[in-house]
Amino acid sequence: MKTIMIYDQLMEQPIKFLVLDGDYSRLNGIYINQWYDDEEKETKEALMDELSDLIYNRETGQEHIEFLDSFPVYAVESDTIVIVAGFLP
């Protein structure tokens, strides 16, 4: 199973794409730096940390995953999940 992530930085940068091995559907709708103030705050903040660790090196802040500039049609298979996640400036 693969997950294709549409990585959105809300007009700060062009939309990017990631191809991930495994099911990352739990990260759908999660944005780094988003403020959560509801009953699921702890769960959402844990998912935000997971997304951040997936993309950025905690020590350097540098990306350590390959971003693609166009939708990876080649990766779409019958068991592929497509999600939207991102970073709020």
pLDDT digits (tens, 9 = 90+) for 13-24: 899 999 999 999
Quick one: pLDDT at residue 37? 82
Quick one: pLDDT at residue 3? 96
* Distance from C-alpha of 46 to C-alpha of 39, rounded to nearest angstrom: 13
Q: Where are the domains of the chain?
A: 2-87
Quick one: pLDDT at residue 12? 74
Quick one: pLDDT at residue 10? 81
Quick one: pLDDT at residue 84? 93
* Distance from C-alpha of 74 to C-alpha of 49, rounded to nearest angstrom: 29
Per-residue exposure over 65-87, b if at least 16 CB sit within 10 Å of its own CB, e if not: eeeeeeeeeebeeeeeeebebbb
* Distance from C-alpha of 28 to C-alpha of 85, rounded to nearest angstrom: 6
87, 14 contact by CB (below 8 A):
no
Quick one: pLDDT at residue 39? 85
Sites in the chain below the pLDDT cut of 50: none
From the list 78, 65, 88, 89, the residue with the least C-alpha distance to 5 is 65
